[in-house]
Amino acid sequence: MTTTTLAVLVPLLPFLGAAAGLLLGRTAPGFVRPLAVLPTLAALALAAVVAVRQGGEQAVDAATELTPTGSVPIELALHIDGFAALVAVLVGFVATCVQIYSTGYLRDDPRYPSYAALVSLFTSAMLLVVYSGDLMVLLVGWEIMGICSYFLVGHYWETPEARAASLKAFLVTKLGDVPFLIGLFALATDAGSFRITRVLGSVASGGLDHPTLIALLLLAGVAGKSAQFPLHTWLPDAMAGPTPVSALIHAATMVAAGVYFIARLLPVFEASQAAMVVLAVMAAVTMTGSALAALAQDDIKRVLAYSTIGQLGYMTGALAVGDRGAAVFHLLSHGAFKALLFLAAGVIIHAAGTNSLAAMSRMGNLRDRVPDAFWTMTVALLALAAIPPFSGFFSKESVLGAAEHVVTGHTEHAPGAAGWTVLVAGLLTALLTAAYATRLWLVA
């Protein structure tokens, strides 16, 4: 099979699994768990094959016109470079772990069939965003994720907290999506195409007439999806959903989509110095503010939620200084340790019967009751706190190194103000992150 055919199957398999799971959920409950796990596992295997075949060489490009629009054409297009291939493997891996974990975590939940189908659809939508070579097709995956998050965060809809959290997540992300959609249309009008390769070609030849306006409109959508200041407020409340959903949203899907989008279209943002400074300030406020908020939380999942916002701030900070490699490196390492943190937190909450850190500290001997969770949580917190030789140390170091290069004038990709902003905020956040990670470990 060609690489293009395999790449088409990667988002298609979880989608078919979701459709089959919804249809058979009531009539044949025995098929629900295999339909949740196997298509996602197969998608992970195919994504790995695509990544090996792509091998960081020439990008895989394929396109077919979807429908004649009379103006800017919309095409069903693939654009898979090494970076897209890696992110797809991360998404497939975390989604597979979450589906396997959920079979036990929600064993007695009567709504498990619809939950599993929604997780598969969520995974399919993120994979569509990752592989898409056309901005309109990317938008379809982007919006499906917003709808899935609404239903998954509100899974326990009997509780007022879950109902309020799901509504808030939906409305805040949609608030960012309105300027995002206008920005996409403006970008396509300037470039004459929705195809990502043609848009980037147009930027390289100086074909964009309004780079600052387009970049700022697109940043609003990214701030909503990736929970960046000032549209970050929905993410801590989204903890009202089941813990495996938190792991999926925080590690590999939804919040990663905004960072991925900027990384994909980084030359568009680099065409405007003002947009890069705005991005740097947004990243700095997000990472320092969320780290301070994490220090004050009592709920274990809310500590991890604020930590996610901060780590996403690191990724957008790396992009603000024009280093896509550092941003993607931190995206991958964060995806791994944050999924581990949430899945371990689920075990701890299950054992303690509470989310409250104060209650856990009064209880004591949690370490003896769930030794596996203790060790996995310890490893993940060491990575979060950037202690060598764990992955978080190297990825954060690459972000701070990229900011230092801008400050010292070794690169012209970003203005000096952006470099200073990201460097100072990044160093402060690194200290605060180590502080709240240590507090969480000692108390729990």
Distance CA 397, CA 341 (A): 21
Domain extent at residue 380 = 272-444
Distance CA 373, CA 171 (A): 35
pLDDT computed for residue 44 by the predictor: 94
In a domain, 331, yes or no: yes
Element containing residue 143 per DSSP (H, E): helix 135-153
Two tokens, residue 350: 């299950």
DSSP annotation of 413: S
- Backbone dihedral region for residue 395 (phi beyond 0: left; psi -120 to 50: alpha; all else: beta): alpha
- The reported pLDDT for the residue numbered 123 is 92
User: Residue 388, preceding bond cis, omega within 30 degrees?
Assistant: no
**Span 264-286, pLDDT tens digits:** 888 888 888 888 899 999 999 99
Tell me: pLDDT of 165 over 80: yes
On whether residue 299 sits in a domain, the answer given is yes
pLDDT over 90, % of the chain: 21
Please count the structural domains in the chain. 1
Mean pLDDT of 418-437: 89
User: What local confidence, expressed as pLDDT, does residue 251 receive?
Assistant: 81
249 within some domain: no
The label of the residue with tokens 């390492």 reads 333
Q: State residue 92's pLDDT score.
A: 92
**With bands split at pLDDT 50, 70 and 90, how would you rate the model's confidence at 343?**
confident
Apex 413 CA angle, 200 and 56, nearest 5 = 55
Q: What is the pLDDT of residue 61?
A: 79
Closest CA to 191 of 272, 67, 74, 72: 72
Residue 150 within any structural domain of the chain: no
Q: Quick one: pLDDT at residue 88?
A: 92
Percent of the chain with pLDDT over 70: 99
Low-confidence winner among 66-70, 185-189, 286-290, 417-421 (lowest mean pLDDT):
66-70
How high is the pLDDT of residue 157? Answer: 83
> Is pLDDT above 90 for 127?
yes
Asked if residue 280 belongs to a domain, the reply is: yes
In a domain, 41, yes or no: no
64 phi and psi angles, rounded to 5 deg: -140, 135
Whole-number mean pLDDT of the chain?
Answer: 86
Give residue-wise pLDDT tens across range 57-101: 787 878 787 777 777 777 888 888 888 898 999 999 999 999 998
Rounded-to-integer distance, Cα 343 and Cα 37, Å: 16
User: Does 173 reside within a domain?
Assistant: no
Does residue 430 form part of some domain? yes
Q: How far apart are CA 294 and CA 128, in angstroms?
A: 32
pTM of the predicted model, to two decimals?
Answer: 0.89
Closest alpha carbon to 11 in 56, 51, 55, 42: 42
Q: Are 351 and 372 in contact (CB under 8 A)?
A: no
